[in-house]
Structure 1
């Protein structure tokens, strides 16, 4: 009877060690990934809306030929800033995704290694 209890206890410890703790680690990594991704998207959305509102205000101030010329110049500058922002945001999201992928692969390898070691016991 004592042997059965030890066997069950050992099995539970192995399951905790190999699978449950690995799933918790993966879940934490996934939550961090989604938090970073959501934050990046919110920052981008805020920056894009600020640019759009600023441009709308610039065009509302057009009253003569000189202010029209200034609005066009501002629009060109904003378009350049927008493209740079998109490029930077794309790089940021790509980096976040690559980091998540690498962390996930590392965890999968560690879990597989633990499972193989546990199976040998």
Structure 2
């Protein structure tokens, strides 16, 4: 995993795992790899991975089962809410960037529509 120097590594690891959960790569109720294995997989310090997992536990996105490990929550509504939160955050980032270029809301919508149209044409 490549890390962005501007964002704390534990947050990037947490976001990486959130994306894996949202996309279904990690299913509800599925056991996560051990902390040590995750550290190897993402090339990060074990303590950094543990910090990411601790936040995920606090947010109830994952659950810890004593002696068994960490598991993705089985609460599909929680996962749906997580997806909505991540999508909203990404849209917010894009919106703020485009708005700083002095684009109006209508221009931003038009640009997004054109982008989606062009992408669809490329993939056809």
Q: Same fold (TM over 0.5)?
A: no
**Which TM-score applies when normalising by structure 1?**
0.31
Larger radius of gyration: 1
Larger strand percent: 2
Higher relative contact order (CA 8 A, sep 6+): 1
**Which TM-score applies when normalising by structure 2?**
0.31
Larger helix percent: 1
